[in-house]
Structure 1
Amino acid sequence: MDINVSTPSILFPAISLLLLAFTNRFLALANLIRQLHDQYKLKPEPAVLAQMAHLRHRLLLIRNMQACGVSSMVMCIVCIGMVLLSQPNLALISFILSLLLMLASLALSLREILISYRALEMHLADIEELHRED
């Protein structure tokens, strides 16, 4: 496979958009954690403690998503450097690593979305249960 400078460059917009989306997820989660923290300080509830374990797991996933995304971007830059230094084998290896890191980032994102989905399903079920009791 022949790699030129434009090959890894096509990943820059995709990786940038992924990092933006991951940052937005992080900020939303950070706001939720801060709200739960304030709520728990006012009125400690066991349900909030149970949510914290899930939120901590999601926070870890988002951190790893961002780390893989940034690493993917770095490997794209390394790939461009290897192309410019006329090192086609190293360029190919760094490009493949970049793609694998992006794939890992997306897989972690999917895992985090599924956890978030399950948490929302639990809230909806709770609301429906409260509605049935009325």
Structure 2
Amino acid sequence: MTLEIQTPALLFSATSLILLAYTNRFLTIAQIVRGLKKTYDQEHSKDIFLQIKNLNLRLSLIRYMQLFGVLCLFLSVFAMLVLFLNFQVVGIYLFAGSLLCLLISLGLSFWEISISVTALRLHLKDLMEK
């Protein structure tokens, strides 16, 4: 089996867009946490504390999503370099590693989104009961 140098390059645009989306999610949640922290300092509400705790978990997941996304990009570039130097087997393994990192990143993204949806449903629960 041979791998062309263009194949790992296909991940660049997709990975770049994913990293941009992850960064936007991170910045939005960080802004919400800052606002909730101010409110919590004034009210010491248990509900607000639980929301901050939930958002903190989501921030951690996003950090790992970004880590594996960057690792995917790094391994893709490294695979291209190795393929350029005509080391097919190593290039194939590096590319496979980059795909694995992308899968992990997307899996963590799904987990983070499911936490977000669960939190929103809890937040809207009283409204739905009416």
1:43 maps to what in 2? Answer: 43
Is the 2:5–2:84 Cα contact (8 Å) retained in structure 1? yes
Question: RMSD between aligned alpha carbons?
Answer: 1.1
Task: Output the TM-score relative to the length of structure 2.
Answer: 0.96
Ranges in structure 1 where 5+ consecutive residues have no aligned partner: none
1:115 partner letter: I
1:70 maps to what in 2? Answer: 70
1:122 maps to what in 2? Answer: 122
Runs of 4+ in 1 over 2 A off after TM superposition: 126-129
2:76 partner letter: C
The percent of aligned pairs where both chains have the same amino acid is: 39
Ranges in structure 2 where 5+ consecutive residues have no aligned partner: none
Cα drift, residue 126 of structure 1? 2.9
Task: Output the TM-score relative to the length of structure 1.
Answer: 0.93
Cα drift, residue 38 of structure 1? 1.1
- Whether 1:27 aligns to 2:27 is yes
Q: Write out per-residue CA displacement over residues 11-31 of structure 1, whole angstroms, 9 at most, x where no aligned residue.
A: 000000100110011011101
Aligned residues: 130
120-129 vs 16-25, greater mean Cα deviation: 120-129
Matches for 1:97-116 after TM superposition, within 5 Å: 97-116=97-116
2:3 maps to what in 1? Answer: 3
